[in-house]
Amino acid sequence: DQQVKQNSPSLSVQEGRISILNCDYTNSMFDYFLWYKKYPAEGPTFLISISSIKDKNEDGRFTVFLNKSAKHLSLHIVPSQPGDSAVYFCAARNTGTASKLTFGTGTRLQVTL
């Protein structure tokens, strides 16, 4: 039962353009969402998060949007840079089980010159 889905395994974007990574979830009990970035041979690193009481959170070039009615969130990277090339994981948590995150399968972003 895949409660967090990232339906695009890969995405290629030109440097300077916008990257949009999507994530859908099915569990309505999720109340906190996180995005992680992972480079090869490294562990995931936290990027940005959003609480379910908000619909947008911005941090520099990274913005996460949450649409609760659609159970959908997206990560926007503007402008995209070659160093952003990595695998991006969407993760979700609910207060009742704050010990665990439920991860999507990841989207590999390639930013080309």
Partner 1 sequence: DSGVTQTPKHLITATGQRVTLRCSPRSGDLSVYWYQQSLDQGLQFLIQYYNGEERAKGNILERFSAQQFPDLHSELNLSSLELGDSALYFCASSALGSMNTEAFFGQGTRLTVV
DSSP for the chain, written as a single string: --SEE---SEEEEETTS-EEEEEEE--TT--EEEEEEE-TTS--EEEEEEETT-SEEEETTEEEEEETTTTEEEEEESS--GGG-EEEEEEEE-GGGTT--EE---EEEEEE-
Q: Is 73 in the site for partner 1 (CB under 8 A)?
A: no
Question: Which among 13-21, 69-77, 78-86, 91-99 is the span making contact with partner 1, rule CB under 8 A?
Answer: 91-99
Q: Is 51 in the site for partner 1 (CB under 8 A)?
A: no
Q: Is 29 in the site for partner 1 (CB under 8 A)?
A: no
Out of 57, 74, 105, 110, the only residue in the binding site for partner 1 (CB under 8 A) is: 105
In the complex with partner 1, the residue whose CB is nearer, 14 or 51, is 51
The contact set with partner 1 (CB under 8 A) reads: 4, 6, 9, 32, 34, 36, 41-46, 49, 89, 91, 93, 97-106
